[in-house]
Amino acid sequence: MILSDVTLRAMMARGELLVEPFEQYLLQPASIDLRLGSHFLKVDENATDTIRMDQPVRYVEMTMEEIVIPPHSFLLASTMEYVRLPIDVTAFVEGRSSIGRIGLFVQNAGWVDPGFEGELTLELFNANRQPIRLQSGRRVCQLVFARMDQATSIPYRGKYQGQRRPVGSRIYEDSDPRRP
């Protein structure tokens, strides 16, 4: 079940759901808008000729109030808001329609697990032939919350728990028994 603005407001008032800093205009009928932070990562293209899943990726870190994403380019960013989900609620990260209409694709692997806490790392892709200038503090995505049929027995405690600022891929830390 998707949670309404009434339910989200009540959950925040009781401290069950945390979105900080929170401004009333961020609350939508069935979601909460999140704003772009001022911290960014881009893959250091000069550090390697191939990105590998079994080795750390090198990134260039930037802190700025405005950033330009060149055409057909990828960038990691963080939300301004720090969120904490209860263990019986999950959230979907969706780009705002107004953002998609200018050709900016916003992802976060699309999913926030129950029990997650931290700033969200957003994956931004400019699908245009023109650069896009972004300003920190602007609403860029939204969280749509859904209540689970029951609280999870295994809340999220993964490698991105508690993150501040954008965090690059840590796929190299994955243990996959079928990996050669």
* Whether the Cβ atoms of residue 1 and residue 147 lie closer than 8 Å to each other: yes
CA dist., res. 107 & res. 99, Å (int): 12
Q: Which two tokens stand for residue 135?
A: 């300003």
Task: Provide CB contacts within 8 A for 116, sequence distance 6+.
Answer: 83, 84, 85, 156, 160, 161
* Whether the Cβ atoms of residue 96 and residue 142 lie closer than 8 Å to each other: yes
Q: Which of 16, 94, 117, 123 is catalytic?
A: 123
Place of tokens 């780009």: 95
Q: Supply φ then ψ for residue 80, to 5 degrees.
A: -70, -30
Residue 117 annotated as catalytic: no
Q: Which residues are designated catalytic?
A: 123
